[in-house]
Structure 1
Amino acid sequence: MASTEGLVPITRAFLSSYYDKYPFVPPLSDDLIRLSADIRSMIADLQRDSVLIEGERDLVQEVDIPPPHKIDENMWKNRENMEEILFLLERSHWPASLQQESTSEGAELAILVEKLKDKFEKTLKLLEYFQSKNADYVFNTVMSYMPQDFRGTLIRQQRERSERNKQAEVDALVNSGGSIRDRYALLWKQQMERRRQLAQLGSATGVYKTLVKYLVGVPQVLLDFIRKINDDEGPMEEQRQRYGPPLYGLTTMVLSIRVFIFLLWSRFEASKINKHQFDILEQAVQVYTSEFERFVKFMGEVFTNSPFFIPAESRGNEDYKEISVAAGRTHEVLLTVESINSYIAWDFSLDQGKLKLDIGFSVEYTNSSGEKVLILPYRRCESDQGNFCTVMAGNYKLIWDNSYSAFFKKAVRYKVDCIPPVVEPVPE
């Protein structure tokens, strides 16, 4: 178990002293501010050339809305806008005359558009890797406090199942004709649910009371921190104040690039090709992608070394119990399950000595009316290791039955537990 000696509360002041070691230097390039202004100016020019229609008007108005305050929400916004840009840069979505490449100038622009597409694809992949790696890191750190046996394995399986269900929900939305915006609204909703679960873990409410029972030795300062992780003025506000401003600038720039391309494509056929506009666009994309990649790599280093999560040392399986079931008797363990889709799990074996012995085993459920239902039929075995079943809320009884034996008592070494529904912690 990890030592908790000398640990201090993870407060905003504590994080401030930590972040002092990681200033974001050099700051964002001055070119980003200049080119953002140039893109905004070109958006204004396109609006003057033609009156905005309803869909265009809503999108243009977004440019004037301040970016979200939370770091991770900005990451998702950048990812969404990069996907929207890649959609526009697909050849099938180019203006008809550009697809035809009927002039040398058109062919040159087509090559440029493909280059821009390659840059965004590379940056998008980096962001996806960053988000996935961070989520796995946090989950694995929390899992280091779990018992290192079948219960930890089940919780990992639950997480995998939950993530598959989330992906299936996204796939169903896409297959039903959902837009990129619809998909990212769903992804952010799913992300907020993960963060809510993380805060619940810190405050040990609901089914998480059971899960916190597993986290033997988790420093209280860590539980206090994750309870406040979603608070607007909590410890994570220090991260937002330090690293939010450069990210906000990147979020605004990528949205401006998207809006410009969107308006340019819709007016392309009615206007002459403006080489200067494409030069500015190329510079803007180069600066945005290079600066965003630098920022993401920097944040990855900050996160990897951050004091949010303190890994526990591996622990042994000391929590087995040993009982002796006399001939003609049974031994019962009662479990109360608080939430549907929980697991009851067990692991047991007999001390064989010189004789080869077995024992009866079954699992019984008692409903609210007092009716008993056998959910695992009686069977005789020498051991049953790492087994489990999915259950609903209610009372359960695990029974080791030696009633058929007339002579031999049975020495059983076992552990049983109830695993609550999945917890999927993710960082800010």
Structure 2
Amino acid sequence: MASTNGLVPITRAFLSSYYDKYPFPPISSDVSALTHHLYNLSKHLLNHPSSPLPQGQRLLLQEAESQPPHKMDENMWKNREQIEEIIFLLEISHWPKTLQQSTPEDVELTRVLRQLRDKFEGSLKVVESFQSKNSNNIFNTVMTYMPQDFRGTLIRQQRERSERNKQAEVDALVNSGGTIRERYALLWKQQMERRRTLSQLGSATGVYKTLVKYLVGVPQVLLDFIRQINDDHGPMEEQRQRYGPPLYALTKMAVNIRLFLSLSWWRFEDIKMPKDQISVLEEAAQVYVSELERFLTFIGEVVANSPFFVTAEEAGALEGNKNNGYSETNVAAGKTHEVSLTVDTVNSYIAWDFSILQGKISTDIGFSVEHTDSSGYKTLILPYRRYESDQGNFCTVMAGNYKLLWDNSYSTFFKKALRYKVDCIPPVVESVPSTAAADDAK
């Protein structure tokens, strides 16, 4: 069992400093250009259709016109799903009937399609390997800090049993004729269940409630980490902001490759794919596969080398000092600490970031936010809950006074060393262009 003495979970500020060392070389401009080109080709295929657009293609068109998911792991699953769907379309048995019979004029197209299928099958293996390694990396990191006795064994057995049950669910769906789309909906649901299970271990609820009773000796810092690792506004948001955009662009490209191929098969009896469009498809596949594999190689190295725990001194030094707006105070046992903000304009943002400096006994504190209007009427904005640390924000819908309250009244003996930063950010008001400027812009 590795020691966590003196360590705290990684913070967003620490990840920001760490990621500064790993800038991702910009994704090829061909990604957006070819995505746009494929979308226009798809729209052309929708003009004057010989029959109503099938339900599957309608859903796919909606997906192509929507924004990709925000979570990076969901985008990984989306890319994997689209790759499988593309491979499905590239299998000879799913080609249009006339193309399966392959006339001499179709020789070039059939050659390209076979090459593309091989290319996407290789890419699918890369994505699957990345996901497997990433999942094992997280779990093994957690287990490194777990007592190496029956407690760790119980958790490993629970995970193995859970994974067998999940695979049985997938097999049952496939055997009953489930579609690729349905299978990936199930796979993503299972991924979210893994997240909940991990967080339940950290908060001693759910399936691990009984087990955690026996986890005496498990470092609190570990339980903090596994509970908070996937919070929407937690440390991993830094990864989404840094490295999410190139992955989102690749997700969109995969959807558009599939959309174009699917619509081409649907209209193939009326409009055979011309040579210039074959070239576009071939180029798009090459760019997508190479850029996706480049991104996965990069992000795999970044994640594999990223620590999950740092010393409190490192975290404090990176998160800031008195010069960047953070304050520190001791909240005595039985007492509270509050910050009041007067907000004159709706659509302002109130944001906070706080943590309890590592202590030997208890490292949490109650926190809530309430609003008081001009008549004295109070509204609870954020219900009371105890935290070791938290980052959050909300957009105000009412003017008035907002009170952020840290509550240590439940503690009889122990003070809490609170480190916090609170901001009130007014709404951005865009200037209205003058008539002359507006005329010049026309």
Look up the match of 1:31: 30
Q: Structure 1 length as normaliser, TM-score?
A: 0.68
Structure having the higher Rg: 1
Q: Quick one: distance in 1 between partners of 2:10 and 2:282?
A: 44
8 Å contact kept, 1:36–1:253: yes
Q: Distance in 1 between matches of 2:306 and 2:214?
A: 24
CA distance in 2 between partners of 1:193 and 1:177 (Å): 24
Secondary structure of residue in 2 paired with 1:65: coil
Preserved contact between residue 151 and residue 215 of structure 2 (Cα < 8 Å): no
Task: Identify the residue that residue 201 of structure 1 maps to in structure 2.
Answer: 201
**Residues 221 and 268 of structure 1: CA distance in aligned 2, closer, same or farther (over 3 Å):** same
C-alpha displacement at 1:60, in angstroms?
A: 0.9
Give distance in 2, aligned partners of 1:223 and 1:154. Answer: 16
CA distance in 2, matches of 1:67, 1:207: 32
Matched position secondary structure for 1:233: coil
Q: Structure 2 CA distance, aligned partners of 1:277 and 1:69?
A: 31
Change (3 A) 1:15 1:213: farther
Tell me if structure 1 keeps the 8 A contact 2:4–2:221: no
13-22 or 200-209, larger mean C-alpha shift: 200-209
Aligned equivalent of 1:68: 69
1:209-248 correspondence runs (5 A): 209-212=209-212, 218-248=218-248
**AA partner of residue 37 (structure 1):** H
Q: CA deviation at 1:14?
A: 1.6
Q: Deviations over 1:237-279 (max 9, x none)?
A: 1111111100000000000000100000111111144111110
Give, in angstroms, the shift of residue 309 of structure 1: 6.1
Q: SS at the partner of 2:65?
A: coil
Alpha-carbon offset, residue 2 of structure 1: 2.9
Q: 1:18 is matched by which residue type in structure 2?
A: Y
Per the normalisation by structure 2, the TM-score is: 0.66
Give the match for residue 335 of structure 2. Answer: none
Q: Measure how far apart 1:17 and its partner are.
A: 1.1
Alpha-carbon shift at residue 48 of structure 1 (Å): 1.2
Task: Verify the 8 A CA contact 2:2 2:144 in the aligned structure 1.
Answer: no
Partner of 2:254: 254
Report what 2:41 is aligned to.
Answer: 42
Q: Is the 8 A contact 1:147 1:214 kept in 2?
A: no
Q: C-alpha distance in 2, partners of 1:155/1:194? A: 13
Q: CA, structure 1 residues 96+81, in 2 after alignment: closer, same or farther (shift >3 Å)?
A: same
The Cα of 1:19 is off from its aligned counterpart by 1.2
User: Which secondary structure state, in structure 1, belongs to the residue aligned with residue 127 of structure 2?
Assistant: helix
1:409 aligned partner = none
Alignment check: 8 A CA contact 1:229 1:236 kept: yes
Contact 2:201 2:223 (8 Å CA) reproduced: yes
Range with bigger deviation, 223-232 or 277-286 = 223-232
Aligned partners of 1:169 and 1:299: how far apart in 2? Answer: 30
**Percent identity, aligned pairs only?**
69
The equivalent of 2:99 in structure 1 is 98
Given that 2:147 and 2:217 are in contact with CA atoms closer than 8 Å, whether structure 1 keeps it comes out as no
Q: Deviations 1:94-133 (Å, cap 9, x if unpaired)?
A: 1122211111x30111010001001100010011011111
Q: CA deviation at 1:34?
A: 1.0
State which drifts further: 284-293 or 227-236. 227-236
Task: Report what 1:363 is aligned to.
Answer: none
- Asked if the contact 1:85–1:258 (Cα under 8 Å) also holds between the matched residues in 2, the reply is yes
Instruction: Kindly indicate whether the alpha-carbon contact (under 8 Å) linking 1:145 and 1:216 is maintained by their aligned counterparts in 2.
Output: no
1:58 corresponds to 2:59: yes
Distance in 2, matches of 1:230 and 1:303, equals 14
Match of 2:79 in 1: 78
Equivalent in the alignment of 2:275: 275
Return the offset for 1:209.
4.6
Q: Which amino acid aligns with 2:102?
A: E
Equivalents in 2 of 1:20, 1:214: separation in Å?
A: 40
Distance in structure 1 (CA, Å) of the matches to 2:60 and 2:207: 42
Contact 2:60 2:255 in 1 (8 A): no
- Inter-partner Cα distance in structure 2 for 1:218 and 1:112: 56
Which residue is equivalent to 1:112?
112
Instruction: Count how many residue pairs are aligned between Structure 1 and Structure 2.
Output: 308
8 A contact 1:145–1:215 mirrored in 2: no
Paired position in structure 2 for 1:296: 296
Pick closer, same or farther for the CA change 1:264–1:206 going to 2, 3 Å: closer
Q: Which runs of 5+ in 2 are unaligned?
A: 311-442
| Corresponding residue of 1:415 | none
* Cα distance in 1 for residues equivalent to 2:213 and 2:7: 21
**Deviation for aligned residue 1:142:** 1.9
Task: Summarize the alignment of residues 301-320 of structure 1 with structure 2, pairs less than 5 Å apart.
Answer: 301-308=301-308
User: Residue 170 of structure 1 contacts residue 186 of structure 1 at CA under 8 Å; is this kept in 2?
Assistant: yes
Tell me how large the CA RMSD over aligned residues is.
Answer: 2.0
* Unaligned segments of structure 1, at least 5 residues: 311-428
Aligned to 2:423: none
Give the distance between the partners of 2:218 and 2:300, measured in 1 at CA: 24
Q: Give the partner amino acid of 2:208.
A: Y
Q: 1:59, CA displacement in angstroms?
A: 1.7
Amino acid at match of 1:229: I
Contact 2:146 2:218 in 1 (8 A): no
CA 1:188–1:164 in 2, change beyond 3 Å: closer, same or farther? same
> Runs (4+) of structure 1 moved beyond 6 Å?
none
Whose RCO is larger (CA < 8 A, sep 6+)? Answer: 1
